[in-house]
A and B are shown apart, each in its own frame.
Chain A
Amino acid sequence: EIVMTQSPATLSVSPGERATLSCRASQSVSSNLAWYQQKPGQAPRLLIYGASTRATGIPARFSGSGSGTEFTLTISSLQSEDFAVYYCQQYNNSRTFGQGTKLEIK
């Protein structure tokens, strides 16, 4: 099973600043990686697939990069609605999720 490791577990950032979230795979997943946002009491929402393609309706301040084993989700100029938990998911070999990064207001 491919293990996905996200860092940090919690990230404190001020509104208007940039947030950088990391996701590492235990073996190469090529570009078969997705990012999701989950707010309290809500279902996860797809942000990024194919490591860097924004899903429909996702603002341009969300961007994804990376391939192989190292991936990054960047949120430029954080808005109040962006504070949430973020998960990465590989779909190169079955499907596994990272443990999540909680993005909180500093």
Chain B
Amino acid sequence: EVQLVESGGGLVQPGRSLRLSCAASGFTFDDYAMHWVRQAPGKGLEWVSGISWNSGSIGYADSVKGRFTISRDNAKNSLYLQMNSLRAEDTALYYCAKAPLKWLLRNWFDPWGQGTLVTVSS
């Protein structure tokens, strides 16, 4: 069974940093691209970032470009999101999601983890 388990969320002050992790199991991790998708409280879904199987292709939403960095460690079956210069509008539940392919092109998301909550507030 494919499992994605996020961790690393919490309460952080504006301008500070946080690093999210996603532990994957039940599939060959380095055969697939991976993504982060977020959902602000009571709001819809927003794609944040994606990374190809070999980290050779990476993409970011404009809202996080220059502040967030996605990475993966295939040896540890793990996905990461380094979030710097956090803002109140980054407050959301952050989901890790698996892509159907190795590359970022033509990616939908299946499955999703249960999410980790990031709250940016002073």
Quick one: which of A46, A92, A97 contacts B47, CB cutoff 8 A? A97
Tell yes or no: A83 within 8 A of B by CB.
no
Could you give, for residues 97-118 of chain B, a 1 whenever the CB lies within 8 Å of some chain A CB and a 0 otherwise? 0001000001111111111000
What's the Cα separation between A44 and B110 when bound, in Å? Answer: 9
A49 engages B100 (CB within 8 Å): yes
What's the Cα separation between A98 and B106 when bound, in Å? Answer: 17
B107 engages A95 (CB within 8 Å): yes
What's the Cα separation between A66 and B45 when bound, in Å? Answer: 22
Could you give, for residues 31-66 of chain B, a 1 whenever the CB lies within 8 Å of some chain A CB and a 0 otherwise? 000010000000011110010000000010010000
Residues on B with C-beta less than 8 A from A36 are 45, 109
Residues on B with C-beta less than 8 A from A97 are 44-47
Interface band, chain A: 20 to 34
Quick one: which of A46, A92, A94, A99 contacts B110, CB cutoff 8 A? A46
Quick one: which of A46, A92, A98 contacts B109, CB cutoff 8 A? A46
- Mostly, the A contact residues are loop
Q: How many A-B residue pairs have CB under 8 A?
A: 50
Tell yes or no: A62 within 8 A of B by CB.
no
B107 engages A43 (CB within 8 Å): no
Q: A43-B115, A49-B100 are in contact. Are A96 and B110 (CB under 8 A)?
A: no
Nearest Cβ in chain A — how far from B9, in angstroms? Answer: 14
Tell yes or no: B95 within 8 A of A by CB.
yes
What's the Cα separation between A46 and B114 when bound, in Å? Answer: 14
Residues on A with C-beta less than 8 A from B44 are 87, 97-100
Q: A32-B106, A94-B59 are in contact. Are A46 and B45 (CB under 8 A)?
A: no
Top 4 A-B pairs, shortest CB-CB distance: A46-B110, A34-B108, A43-B112, A97-B45
Please give the residue numbers on chain B whose beta carbons come within 8 Å of chain A beta carbons, in ascending order: 35, 44-47, 50, 59, 62, 95, 100, 106-115
Please give the residue numbers on chain A whose beta carbons come within 8 Å of chain B beta carbons, in ascending order: 1, 32, 34, 36, 43-46, 49, 55, 87, 89, 91-92, 94-100
Sampled A-B contacts (10; CB under 8 Å): A1-B62, A44-B95, A44-B109, A45-B111, A46-B108, A46-B111, A55-B110, A87-B45, A89-B109, A100-B44
